[in-house]
Structure 1
Amino acid sequence: MSTEAYVSFLAIGVVLVLIDGQIIYRSGRGYLESSYGDPAAGASMTRLVTVLFHLVTLGLLALLSTIPLGDSDLPGVVGRVGVLLLVLAIVHALTLAVLGRIRGEQVGEAVVNRRISRREAEQRGTAVTTAVPAQEASYPDVSPPLEHRAP
Structure 2
Amino acid sequence: MTTEAYLAFLAVGIALVLIDGQIIYRSGRGYLENSYGDAAAGASMTRLVTVLFHLVTLGLLALLSTIPLGDGDLPGVVGRLGVLLLVLALVHAITLALLGRMRGEQVGEAAVANRRISAREADRMPTTTVTPVPGQDGRNPDVSPSLENRAPYSAS
Instruction: Quickly name the TM-score band, shorter chain normalised.
Output: 0.7 to 0.9
Inter-partner Cα distance in structure 1 for 2:56 and 2:118: 43
The TM-score with structure 1 as length reference comes to 0.83
Does the alignment pair 1:148 with 2:125? no
1:28 aligned residue: 28
Inter-partner Cα distance in structure 2 for 1:118 and 1:26: 34
Trace 1:46-61 onto structure 2 (pairs within 5 A): 46-61=46-61
1:86 aligned residue: 86
Count of residue pairs the alignment pairs up = 129
Inter-partner Cα distance in structure 2 for 1:62 and 1:4: 16
The TM-score with structure 2 as length reference comes to 0.80
CA displacement 1:74-129 (0-9 Å, x = unmatched): 0000000000000000000000000000000000001101111111111122xxxx
Inter-partner Cα distance in structure 1 for 2:15 and 2:67: 20
Trace 1:87-106 onto structure 2 (pairs within 5 A): 87-106=87-106
1:68 aligned residue: 68
Give the root-mean-square deviation of aligned CA atoms: 1.1
Gaps of 5+ in 1: 126-143
Stretches (4+) displaced over 3 A: none
Does the alignment pair 1:7 with 2:7? yes
Deviation (angstroms), 1:38? 1.2
Deviation (angstroms), 1:36? 1.9
Deviation (angstroms), 1:37? 1.9
Gaps of 5+ in 2: 130-156
* Partner SS state of residue 34, structure 1: helix
Inter-partner Cα distance in structure 1 for 2:114 and 2:27: 27
Inter-partner Cα distance in structure 2 for 1:82 and 1:112: 45
Inter-partner Cα distance in structure 2 for 1:115 and 1:29: 26
